[in-house]
Amino acid sequence: MSCLYFQGLSLSNIYQYSVPFLKLVIVSFTNSLQHRICFYTALLLKLRDCIAECLHSNLQTQKKIFSNKFTRSNLFS
């Protein structure tokens, strides 16, 4: 049965049907990869913004603590 099935196939038939399929696989993989790269880039940018905001708020807190200590020490000297 399998011999009869493969008798009609030639290299040109295989090429004719396999190349578009391979192109589809490659394009879908490339698109998927691009979407993943975009997603992870956006995620990293969001993470960077969160870290920057956290560091900025910590810096502002440290400045307030330092300025409070400095003014208090000037008041008592």
What confidence tens digit (pLDDT) does each residue in 31-61 have? 788 888 888 888 899 889 888 888 888 888 8
| pLDDT tops 50 at residue 4 | no
The model's confidence at residue 75, banded by pLDDT at 50, 70 and 90, is low
Distances from the Cα of 21 to the Cα of 6, 27, 71, angstroms: 19, 10, 74
- 22-33 b/e (C-beta count within 10 Å ≥ 16 → b): eeeeeeeeeeee
E strands within 1-77?
A: none
How confident is the model at residue 11, as a pLDDT?
A: 59
Q: Where are the domains of the chain?
A: 13-75
The pTM assigned to this predicted structure is 0.48
